[in-house]
A and B are shown apart, each in its own frame.
Chain A
Amino acid sequence: MAKKIVVDPIPRIEGHLRIEAKMNDANVIEEAYSTGTMWRGIEVILKGRDPRDAWAFAERICGVCTTVHALASVRCVEDALGIEIPANARIIRNLMAATQQTQDHLVHFYHLHALDWVDVVSALKADPAQASAIAQSISPWPKSSVGYFKDLQKRLVAFVESGQLGIFSNGYWGHPAYKLPPEVNLIAVAHYLEALDFQKEIVKIQTVFGGKNPHPNYLVGGMACAIDPNSDTAINIERLNMIKKIIDETQTFIDQVYIPDLIAIAGFYKEWLYGGGLGNFMSYGDFPETNLNDFKSLLWPRGIILNKDLSTVIDVDPRDTTQIKEEVGHSWYTYSQGADKGLHPWEGETKPNYTGPKPPFEFLDTDKQYSWLKTPRWKEHPVEVGPLARVLVAYAKGDPMIKETVGAVLGKLQVGPEALFSTLGRTAARGIECKQTAGFMGHFYDQLVANIKAGDYKTFNSERWEPSTWPKECKGFGYTEAPRGSLGHWIRIKDEKIDEYQIVVPSTWNASPRDNRGNSGAYEAALKGTPMVDPSKPLEILRTVHSFDPCLACASHVFDMNGNEITKVTIV
Chain B
Amino acid sequence: MKKINIVGLGNILFGDEGFGVEAVRALEASGSWPESVQFVDGGTQGLYLLDYFESCDALMVFDSIIPVEFEPKVYCYSKEELPAFIHRKMSAHQMGLSELLAVAKLHGREPAEILLIGAPPHDLGLGNGLSEPMREHLERAVAMGREMLEKWLAE
A-to-B contact residues, CB < 8 Å = 12-16, 38, 41-42, 44-45, 57, 60-64, 66, 107, 111-112, 155-156, 159, 164-167, 193, 196-197, 199-200, 203, 212-215, 553, 555-563, 565
Contacts and interface: CB of A to CB of B under 8 A. Distances in A.
A64 B106 contact: no
B133 interface: no
Nearest to B106: A159
B45 A66 contact: yes
Contact of B50 (A13, A164, A165, A200): A200
A60 B12 contact: yes
Contacts of B50: 196, 200
Nearest to A562: B67
Given A66-B43, A200-B51, A45 B90 contact: no
A284 B130 CA distance: 38
Contacts of B83: 164
Contact of B99 (A66, A166, A214): A166
A553 B92 contact: yes
A534 to B, nearest CB: 24
A15 B93 CA distance: 6
7 contacts: A64-B94, A164-B102, A215-B43, A558-B64, A559-B91, A560-B90, A562-B67
Contacts of A165: 102
Contacts of B93: 14, 63, 553, 556
A428 to B, nearest CB: 22
B12 to A, nearest CB: 6
Contacts, number: 135
B49 interface: yes
B48 interface: yes
Interface stretch (B27-35, B73-81, B120-128, B142-150): B120-128
Given A60-B11, A63-B46, A214-B43, A558 B102 contact: no
Contacts of A156: 106
Contacts of B48: 64, 107, 199, 203, 213-214
Main secondary structure of the interface of A (DSSP, over half): loop
Interface string B102-117: 1101111000000000
B134 interface: no
A193 B106 contact: yes
B26 interface: no
- Max chain A C-beta neighbours (<10 A), residue from B10, B102, B124: B102
A167 B92 contact: no
Nearest to A156: B106
Main secondary structure of the interface of B (DSSP, over half): loop
A561 B126 contact: no
Contacts of B2: none
A42 B12 CA distance: 12
B2 to A, nearest CB: 21
B107 A556 contact: no
B44 A41 contact: no
A60 B43 contact: yes
Contact of B65 (A14, A41, A42, A558): A558
B91 A558 contact: yes
Contacts of A62: 44
A26 B37 CA distance: 60
B47 A562 contact: no
A14 B94 contact: yes
B71 interface: no
A423 B68 CA distance: 39
B98 interface: yes
> What 7 pairs between A and B have smallest CB-CB spacing?
A166-B102, A563-B88, A63-B44, A214-B45, A200-B51, A561-B67, A565-B89
- Max chain B C-beta neighbours (<10 A), residue from A62, A165, A166, A214: A166
Contact of A166 (B41, B69, B98): B98
Contact of B94 (A63, A66, A562): A63
Contacts of B108: 155
Contact of B101 (A64, A166, A558, A559): A166
B58 to A, nearest CB: 19
- Max chain A C-beta neighbours (<10 A), residue from B13, B41, B90, B94: B94
A193 B120 CA distance: 33
Contacts of B17: 556-558
Given A42-B13, A197-B107, A63 B92 contact: yes
- Max chain B C-beta neighbours (<10 A), residue from A156, A164, A196, A561: A561
